[in-house]
Copies of this chain bind each other. A is one copy, B any other.
Amino acid sequence: MKYLLFEFLLVIFFVYIQCEITYIEVKYPLKGKRSPPNAVWPHPQQINISNDLLYIRPNDLAVYSNLQTCDIIAKAIERYKPIFFPPTLDMKQPSSNMENILQNLTLNVKGNIQCEKYIELNSNEAYNLTIKQKFALVEAYSVWGLLRGLETFSQLIYINEQNYIVINSSVDIIDSPRFRHRGAMLDSARHFLPVSIIKKNLDVMSYNKLNVFHWHLVDDQSFPFESKTFPNLSRAGAYSPDHVYTPDDVADIIEHARLRGIRVIPEIDTPGHTFSWSKSMPELITVCWTHGKSYQSIYSIQGEMEIFNPSEPRVYSTMDALLREIHERFPSNYIHLGMDEVYDKCWLSNPNIRQWMVDNNILSTKNLHKYYADQILDITRNISVTPIVWQDVWDEHVELPPGTIIQVWKDSSDNIEFSSWASYLNRAANEGYNVILSSPWYLNYISYGKYNTDTSVMNLEFFKYYEVEPLRHFSGSSEAKERILGGEACLWGEFVDGTNLLSRFWPKAAAVAERLWSAASINNSEDAQFRLDVHRCRLLRRGIPAQPILNGYCGNYDLGMSKSMINHPLFNYDNPIWTETIAPSSARSFASLSSSSSSRMFNYKLYHIVYLILSLFFVYFCRK
């Protein structure tokens, strides 16, 4: 009896806590609307949702599709099972004779749509998701729309306080992306990014409905991409023989992305950023001169050998062969050509290049840029590939083929109102180019996590990314507006590798994802912080070590806690320890790891009823 009173008091305290989580400093009580536990991220275009709930029976939920034979759908259904029903959770199975049980989920494409293979820029990702009369239905015009709808469905499921898996009983979502190109750029040259981490990152991208993996494959520091045509490039240019993406690795990553509705766009950055090429093909690289001496670097401006030599014909034959191979191996019809940060002082410092310019009547560096770009763009034209370039070559007034995508990255200033990236977007789109925006989304520029804009406002770091409005200052025709395809969150790799990639990138990249998917009117950072906090806990439950954006906790899913999924084999790839110590067949099997129990788990059995009554009582006090 003494214990019962004790437990009773415990429940009081526990409920009381739930009312008042102190999110940041006490002296900075956060504004904004608190989020329901199953808020959808990115926010759908239209959503109507009931407060009533249906129970879900983990062992019984059937998923049907009129594209069940399509590998993308079949594999997605398999993949989402442990996402619907977290394997380390002690969920309760509602008895089958209970009412209010969700009967099944159906994923149907409308019309005479067949299974597709690769998502494209203009693929239709729209979907409708309805739950009524105990049936859930996702309808779309493509497999991609079904994937997006399935993701939304998975986010609506949550575990309630009584440990039942539930979902709203009446849901009506009409959803489609605002922008077509929603990307994440990773840099595998400054540090090699293991295949397992890239795949895990593709998983998180799909949870955030991003659809482009821009793969900055090679750079000055290393050349990890194993070319079949020029294997010496990675043999000499990679950090080590193990720090290489073999053809199988690349195919594995492309397939992983394909199944999740993500395009992989490779970047082969030239004519600058090519020092790693010099290890095997020094003949392609410009030697810089200073004071009459060759092989000279100028500190903080240029290295001694980091730019292609535009006067060298072998540059173009090599690029022709390499880009053809890339085009063959990457299903995307886009190749990113880089063309950024070309320090033309090195070109001009080289007497041979100066002579060649005179001989060829190329009388300015602008024309030298143009000469190089024209040759490479001819190659992409010949192989019917659409080029993407960083804005630099366009800054140099080089004319680019129609349809070229210009990636705006300059001016990453925090000043949201008067950012010059907006004028770049304006001008490029009005000149007829397609544009993607990255300037405000260089997520490698990290900070403490919060900043004060004035003494009375506390802003979180992600607000900077979230409050960007790509079209705020846009002026131009509606056709020009259509050419603003979207944007990319970029994570440059100087200080990023497998140890910190996922925690640095997420959930900040999710802020970019919502900006690119959701309506422009979904822009209240203070509300978003609570939804993103919920979403971050969701990512933890799916094995992603996304870092916190607020004080607080994610229940037992916090890393290192009893139910953490971070190292769970279901959400990890190629972990050498796992494959050594667990038989591969069981390592990625859902059933074999689906149960666990924690000795410290809060035992709800004793005071369910008390808890419920008290909850109602305290809800009254908690309301503001």
Contacts and interface: CB of A to CB of B under 8 A. Distances in A.
Interface of A: 9-10, 13-14, 16-17, 20-29, 88, 190-197, 220-222, 232, 235-243, 275-276, 279-280, 297-303, 305-306, 343, 444-450, 452, 455-458, 461, 493-500, 503-504, 540, 545-549, 551-553, 555-556, 558-564, 566-569, 574-578, 580-582, 593, 596, 598, 600-602
Nearest to A582: B581
A245 to B, nearest CB: 11
A10 B13 CA distance: 67
A191 to B, nearest CB: 6
A338 B276 CA distance: 52
B279 A192 contact: no
Contacts of A17: 236-240, 279
Contact of A27 (B297, B563, B567, B568): B297
B27 A306 contact: yes
Contacts of A560: 193-197, 498, 574-575
A21 B195 CA distance: 22
B448 A445 contact: yes
Q: Main secondary structure on chain A at its contact with chain B?
A: loop
Number of copies of this kind of chain in the complex: 2
A192 B558 contact: yes
A88 B497 contact: no
Contacts of A194: 558-561
26 contacts: A14-B240, A17-B237, A22-B220, A25-B303, A27-B297, A27-B298, A27-B343, A191-B553, A192-B553, A192-B558, A222-B551, A242-B561, A242-B600, A243-B553, A445-B448, A493-B551, A497-B548, A497-B559, A498-B564, A499-B540, A500-B504, A503-B503, A560-B575, A576-B598, A581-B581, A581-B582
| Smallest CB-CB A-B distances: 9 pairs | A194-B560, A26-B303, A498-B559, A449-B495, A13-B236, A499-B545, A498-B560, A239-B553, A500-B503
A602 B191 contact: no
B240 A555 contact: yes
